[in-house]
């Protein structure tokens, strides 16, 4: 990678989950197809190793999308990085086919992601936290074609500095907790569930609660019921009950590639219709089989005359406090919106996530990023933030673009194609820059 004081890359990726992993693969395949125009790249990830929702790799849980919506197939069906290629390399392709299932377990899909990242590991720096992005020191904004990134190590020590002509930000979603609720050793967000659960003595968990109405909430409720046969499991649901996810063929067209264009170039009325009619494909909904699993467990409890699985419908958490070893939860619900308190040994908040927000990372550079009337980033069709004319570098987002690109922005469904579009954009911008430099060289100028 050369002298670290002068590392310069065409693109630096910030965060290394599935989205930027897909981008790294797209860059690898771009270089293989056009060796004379390789795009130099480096990815920084604050975690010590690759991991994607590790704390939700519950037994028997499956993916909610087809295995064909992997890191590459919709962009390049012949790619050696496909899920099918992984199965072949693992010696399990015939067995997977015999299983006759489009939806692998989450554990197996995670193994696929780890296999893929190992093949591009030379592009990744783990234990590396990008702390700031700015213009190079002394640079005149309208003349600078680079950004300067400062990177801290696992201990928070700064030291590494790189420059990039483009950055691709994919730092992931931000866990959301109920208002007034703070995480501690007995109050967890679903994103940390298995890690926190494994620290506990299961015998101490006699009364546990799970808040939320989506897939993660239902899966955790089922897991706790099965894992803790001595415990009561309470499901705190803001709706009247779990709502089924619409994964029927016509509804699933909202995740098709063409739907991104329909959303991006659509009117405000069109975009509103997308959300109004199709939120139930992904948001606060649960797969039919999980709902039926939980209902069957609840019904079997009634048959046996026990009361282990309890549902608090139309209820939300309004406060949490510690009372001795107990977690006292204030709940508001029912037709009269009465407030009651219940004590639990643990509370799991499967209450979703906030969209990725890169404002803090961009710092002063944010003033050059243009926003719409609602204060959200304006984003080009190629996922590049619209910037003031003097910002000549590309700042791309993988996430946080629901307002411009629609429902797939935070999902796996479109990452293969999106990564290809970003690579094509970076390659085109670099080609234009090279032409500009050649013209300036002929007249004795230079923008660097």
In terms of DSSP bridges, do strands 232-236 and 309-312 run parallel, antiparallel, or are they unpaired?
Answer: parallel
Question: Which comes out higher in pLDDT, residue 411 or 442?
Answer: 411
Distance, CA of 184 to CA of 349 (rounded, Å):
12
pLDDT band at 108 (very low <50, low <70, confident <90, very high): very high
pLDDT at 318 exceeding the cut of 50: yes
Cα atoms in the Cβ-side hemisphere of radius 13 Å centred on 251: 13
Backbone angles phi, psi at 399, to 5 degrees: 120, 160
pLDDT at 142 over 70: no
Q: Is residue 335 over pLDDT 90? A: no
**pLDDT in the model for residue 420:** 97
Query: CA 150 to CA 159: how far, in whole Å?
Result: 7
Q: Is the pLDDT of residue 360 over 70?
A: yes
The reported pLDDT for the residue numbered 3 is 42
Residue 435 pLDDT grade (very low, low, confident, very high; cuts 50, 70, 90): low
Q: How high does pLDDT run on average in the chain?
A: 91
Q: What is the DSSP letter of 377?
A: B
Strand partners, 355: none
pLDDT, tens only, 276-317? 999 888 888 999 999 999 999 999 999 999 999 999 999 999
Its sign, for the CA torsion 362, 363, 368, 370, is: positive
Taking 70 as the threshold, does the pLDDT of residue 345 lie above it?
A: yes
Bridge partners for 11 per DSSP: 41, 166
Structure tokens at 88: 């072949």
Query: What pLDDT does 117 receive?
Result: 98
Strands 7-14 and 41-44, by their bridges, are parallel
Instruction: Supply 56's token pair.
Output: 């939700």
Phi, psi of 415 (to 5 degrees): -70, -30
**CA–CA separation, 417 vs 72, rounded Å?**
8
User: How far apart are alpha carbons 437 and 394 in whole angstroms?
Assistant: 17
Q: Tell me, what's the pLDDT at 2? A: 40
Average pLDDT over residues 234-256: 92
Cα-based angle 343, 344, 350 (whole degrees, multiple of 5) = 125
Q: Above pLDDT 70, what percent of the chain? A: 93
- Average of pLDDT values for 68-91? 98
Q: How far apart are CA 52 and CA 47, in angstroms?
A: 10
Among 172, 192, 200, 240, CA closest to 350: 192
pLDDT at 390 (0 to 100): 81
pLDDT in tens, 6-62: 689 999 999 999 999 999 999 999 999 999 999 999 999 999 999 999 999 999 899
Instruction: List pLDDT tens digits, range 151-202.
Output: 998 777 777 999 999 999 999 999 999 988 999 999 999 999 999 999 999 9
Supply φ then ψ for residue 207, to 5 degrees.
-135, 115
- How confident is the model over 260-282, as a mean pLDDT? 92
Q: In this model, does residue 103 exceed pLDDT 70?
A: yes
Mean pLDDT of 268-277: 92
**Tokens 């975009």 label which residue?**
271
- Which of 309, 392, 395 minimizes the C-alpha distance to 141? 392
């Amino acid at each position: 990678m050369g002298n670290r004081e002068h590392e310069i890359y065409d693109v630096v990726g910030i965060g290394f989950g599935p989205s930027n992993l897909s981008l790294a693969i797209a860059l690898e395949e771009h270089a293989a197809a056009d060796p004379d125009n390789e795009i130099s790249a480096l990815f920084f990830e604050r975690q010590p190793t690759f991991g994607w929702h590790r704390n939700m790799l519950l037994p028997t849980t499956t993916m909610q999308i087809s295995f064909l919506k992997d890191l590459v197939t919709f962009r390049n069906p012949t790619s050696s990085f496909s899920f099918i290629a992984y199965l072949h390399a693992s010696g399990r392709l015939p067995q997977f086919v015999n299983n006759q299932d489009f939806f692998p377990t989450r554990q197996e899909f995670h193994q696929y992601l780890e296999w893929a990242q190992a093949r591009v590991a030379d592009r990744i720096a783990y234990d590396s936290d990008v702390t700031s992005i700015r213009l190079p020191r002394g640079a005149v904004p309208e003349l600078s074609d680079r950004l300067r990134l400062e990177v801290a190590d696992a201990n928070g020590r700064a030291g590494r500095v790189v420059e990039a002509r483009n950055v691709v930000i994919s730092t992931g979603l931000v866990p959301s907790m109920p208002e007034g609720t703070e995480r501690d050793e007995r109050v967890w967000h679903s994103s940390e569930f298995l890690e926190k659960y494994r620290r506990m003595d299961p015998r101490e968990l006699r009364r546990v609660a799970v808040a939320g109405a989506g897939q993660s909430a239902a899966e955790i409720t089922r897991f706790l019921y099965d894992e803790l046969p001595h415990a009561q499991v309470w499901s705190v649901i803001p709706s009247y009950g779990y709502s089924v996810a619409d994964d029927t063929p016509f509804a699933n067209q909202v995740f098709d590639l063409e739907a991104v264009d329909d959303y991006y170039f659509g009117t405000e009325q069109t975009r509103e219709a997308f959300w109004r009619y199709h939120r139930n494909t992904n948001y606060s909904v649960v797969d039919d089989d999980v709902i039926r699993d939980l209902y069957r467990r609840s019904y079997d409890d009634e048959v046996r005359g026990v009361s282990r699985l309890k549902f608090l419908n139309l209820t939300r958490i309004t406060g949490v406090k510690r009372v001795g070893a107990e977690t006292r939860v204030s709940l508001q619900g029912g037709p009269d919106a009465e407030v009651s308190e219940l004590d639990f040994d643990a509370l799991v908040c499967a209450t979703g996530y906030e969209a990725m927000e890169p404002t803090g990372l961009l710092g002063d550079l944010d003033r050059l990023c243009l926003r719409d009337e609602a204060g959200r980033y304006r984003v080009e069709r190629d996922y590049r933030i619209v910037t003031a004319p003097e910002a000549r570098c590309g700042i791309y987002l993988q996430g946080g673009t629901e307002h411009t690109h629609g429902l797939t922005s935070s999902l796996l469904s479109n990452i293969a194609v999106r990564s290809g579009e970003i690579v094509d954009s970076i390659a085109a911008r670099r080609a234009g820059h090279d032409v500009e430099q050649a013209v300036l060289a002929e007249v004795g100028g230079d923008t660097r």
